[in-house]
Amino acid sequence: MAYGESRGKKEEHAYKVIEKKIKEGTLKSPLFLFGPEAYLIQWAVSACVEKYVSPGVRDLDFSKIEGGNLTLAALVEQCETLPMLSERRVIIVPDFPVLAGNKAKGFSEQDEEELIAYIKDAAPSSLLIFTGDAADKRRKMYKAIASAGGCYEFSSLDEKLLKGFIEKRLKRSGKTAKPGLISRWIALSGYFDKESDYTLYNLENDIRKVIAYSGGDEILWEDITETTSGNADTYVFSMMDALSENRKGDALRLLHNLLLSGEKEYKLLALICSQLEVLLMTKELKEEGMPVDRMKEQINVHEFRIRRALPLADRYSVHQLRSTLSRAYEIDRTIKTGALDARMALELLIAAV
């Protein structure tokens, strides 16, 4: 999302906007790139350097100012220095605390005011880029950058863009995957789970592992489950998905992978109960005619989890879900009383679903 520009139709993701402006050569200075997707922020910085800085003089026409080197004088000096053999000088100021509403060591309020005045009429031969995790949009500095150049929020990708991200990287390596498999991969990764800290950096790493593990041109579900580092909650959902399609072998393999990774049986059973509760509530609310946007408020989970739960819940009746959930509660009590080995109890539950 870009700030300081006209609003109308649904806004493109920030990385799409930056990509377009780089191609057009219309990026203005300064820029503030912020948000949770550090992978895309780094991509944008690298794309700017590649666009404007000649490779042979990168050490001269590209600079990074951070930590104790960050002063108003150093910043202005870098921006005012003419590029040697490049189209523009590119100056990066990573994690600039002022734009997040915090104080910067060696950077006074007076320095901030002077920098605001400077960036309104900064040298066009330089591209000054600030980055950060968060933004305080009330600050004068933020508003000045939005007006003079642009502020871009790099939020998480939506499902369509995320699928494209995966497909593009598979294609580069000569691999393919069915669309349905990619959707299940995304669900397994936990990318859309509120509690998860899984980002594009994690996904990129998992894509590399899947490609390396795969023995053929087409990615298989086993390739993904054996290599993807998604959290336990998403693995449990994938177990339920496999069970609903009577793929008990896949479900047991997912269970064993979780146990081998060090997950405790008690935690896994709690997650299974939680997933069954979500499925049951989704099923009941759908039958009542409740729309998805209200369901997510009622159940208090991400909309993506509701949408992926709906087709899974449709494979069961309300009675079946209630019965399975009761069985899971009973096994939980059995494990806690020591009447049955925890691992065996989980395997019996999967066999009985």
Q: Closest Cα to residue 240, out of 301, 320, 304? A: 320
Q: Please name the residue that has the structure tokens 């219309």.
A: 26
- The SS3 assignment for 218 reads strand
State pLDDT tens for residues 196-248. Answer: 678 899 899 999 999 999 988 999 988 887 787 666 777 788 888 888 888 88
Residue 343 above 90 pLDDT? no
Orientation of helix 292-299 relative to helix 303-313, angle to 10°: 100
* Chain centroid to CA 292: 22
In this predicted model, which residue has the larger pLDDT, 132 or 265? Answer: 132
Instruction: Report the SS3 class of residue 80.
Output: helix
| pLDDT over 60 at 7, yes or no | no
Q: What CATH number does the domain located at 2-153 have?
A: 3.40.50.300
Name the β-bridge partners of 176.
218
- Concatenate the DSSP letters of all residues of 162-203 into one string: HHHHHHHHHHHTT-B--HHHHHHHHHHHTTT-TT----HHHH
- What residues does each domain of the chain span? 2-153, 159-352
Is residue 78 very low, low, confident or very high in pLDDT (cuts 50, 70, 90)?
A: very high
Q: How far apart are CA 103 and CA 97, in angstroms?
A: 6
- Exposed, middle or buried: residue 217 (CB in 10 Å: 0-12, 13-18, 19+)? exposed
Question: Has residue 158 got a pLDDT over 80?
Answer: yes
For residue 53, pLDDT over 90 is answered with: yes
Does the pLDDT at position 57 exceed 90?
yes
> CA 352, 309, 252: angle at the middle one, nearest 5?
35
Contact 21, 88 (CB under 8 A): no
Q: Is 100 left (phi over 0), alpha (psi -120 to 50) or beta?
A: alpha
What local confidence, expressed as pLDDT, does residue 127 receive? Answer: 95
State the sign of the Cα–Cα–Cα–Cα dihedral 306, 307, 308, 309. positive
Q: Given this model, what pLDDT does residue 8 score?
A: 41
Specify the pLDDT at position 229.
66
| Rounded-to-integer distance, Cα 246 and Cα 264, Å | 25
Q: What angle do CA 129, 198, 162 make, to 5 degrees?
A: 75
CATH classification number, 159-352, choose in 3.90.1150.10, 1.20.272.10, 1.25.40.10, 3.40.50.300:
1.20.272.10
Separation of alpha carbons 204 and 196, rounded Å = 16
> Beta-strand (E) ranges in 133-176?
150-153
103-113 confidence digits (pLDDT tens): 877 788 899 99
Chain CA centroid to CA 37, Å = 6
User: CA of 244: how far to CAs of 93, 238, 280, 330, in Å?
Assistant: 51, 10, 14, 21
Query: Among all chains, which residue has been given the structure tokens 């990074």?
Result: 64
